[in-house]
Amino acid sequence: MNIVEVVNLTKKYEDFTAVDNIGFSIKKGEVFGFLGPNGAGKTSTINMLTGLSKVTEGSINISRIDAVKEMKKAQEIMGIIPDESNLYNEMDGFENLCFCASLYGMEKEEREKRASYLLKQFGLDNTGKKPFKAYSKGMKRKLTIAAGIIHNPKILFLDEPTTGIDVESARQIRELLKDLNNNGTTIFITTHYIEEAERLCDRIAFIVKGKIVKIGTIDELMQEVQKEKIVQFTLENGVLDIKGVIQEEFPSYRFEITNDNTFRLYSKENISLMPLMKYFDDKGLNVYEAKIVKPSLEEVFVKITGIEVSKMNKDKEGGKK
Ligand SMILES: Nc1ncnc2c1ncn2[C@@H]1O[C@H](COP(=O)(O)OP(=O)(O)OP(=O)(O)O)[C@@H](O)[C@H]1O
């Protein structure tokens, strides 16, 4: 079942089209990622989905609510984590969370319980009376996420949640998001980190210059560029003298030696391991490892979008955030 359906969505800033007639849906319970470089239109899209910015054209349906017409109602089931924190500098973590909870109408006892629980879950329970402004970037981001889920939203929207923070905090945030998702929260996340999209997302949309150029599960995206199946074998003995023999025995596979002990078989069809293993066994060749070789998501991204990944990260780190 789809929890989000977006059709023909467009965002214009005067004459400039930042989001150009995009459409996608998000299934209940999945982690859906928007992956794209600086200026691709990720923030403009998430801001329209969450009501932080006006839709120029198109429709957004969230949990059967027409979010263009009834955004307030749709927002009740959303958690929104913007790219910049919206918390109060002078308040400590507990006070900030209690304040957010009060905005959702939670009773004092309930909000204090929830605030304490989240501080503990996010590893911020030892910050005491420290005001938000004295938090590190990673701590700030964690508290901002905790505030965004204070009301147990059904769907969480996060705009680049790990950009510009330390590696350990980023790892903790990904773990927390995984836990939330395992407990049933649907997640929409924008990122320019390919590894992050690969680690977290069930499905990914590649967005470039305001347009979605591809959507799929990681396997589907990989298949897009991988025209042949590849299996790599590593033998304990050398492989140089078996090339001709294998090619003769298994003529439908293409054979390539990658180093002294390793070779690869390529085929348009599935490669069946059993007959190969039996063949090697009969010949007294010990297989040390047999593994399926898949392209990396980075290769897929570069091939589909034509954007060099190193360029994407550099632009971003030197960019506005
Ligand atoms: N308020 C605005 N007025 C005019 N142009 C805007 C405005 N906000 C964004 N843009 C432009 O729209 C395009 C998309 O920006 P957006 O912030 O949505 O991209 P993004 O993928 O989130 O990139 P980033 O990660 O750098 O924020 C960019 O060219 C940006 O300069």
The two tokens of residue 43 are: 């923030």
| Of 12, 44, 84, best ligand 1 pocket probe by most atoms within 8 Å of the beta carbon | 44
214 plus 239 within the same structural domain: no
Residue span of the structural domain in which 269 resides: 227-292
252 plus 186 within the same structural domain: no
Domain presence at residue 304:
no
Residue 114, phi then psi, degrees to nearest 5: -65, -40
CATH of the domain at 249: 3.30.70
Domain presence at residue 310:
no
pLDDT by residue (tens digit) across 182-192? 999 999 999 99
55 plus 182 within the same structural domain: yes
233 pLDDT higher than 70: yes
Cα dihedral 263→264→270→273 (10° resolution) = 10
ipTM of the complex: 0.96
Which of ligand 1's atoms lies nearest the C-alpha of 210? 14
pLDDT band at 55 (very low <50, low <70, confident <90, very high): very high
115 plus 261 within the same structural domain: no
Nearest-angstrom CA–CA distance, 276 and 279: 5
91 plus 213 within the same structural domain: yes
Distance 23 CA to ligand 1 centre (A): 19
Q: Domain count for the chain, please give it.
A: 2
Distance 87 CA to ligand 1 centre (A): 23
pLDDT by residue (tens digit) across 11-49? 999 999 999 999 999 999 999 999 998 899 999 999 999
123 plus 267 within the same structural domain: no
Cβ atoms of 97 and 105 within 8 Å: the answer is no
**Which amino acid residue places its CA nearest to atom 28 of ligand 1?**
39
pTM, two decimal places: 0.84
> Minimum mean pLDDT among 75-84, 139-148, 155-164, 220-229: which range?
220-229
The two tokens of residue 162 are: 């790990």
* Coil, helix or strand at residue 88: coil
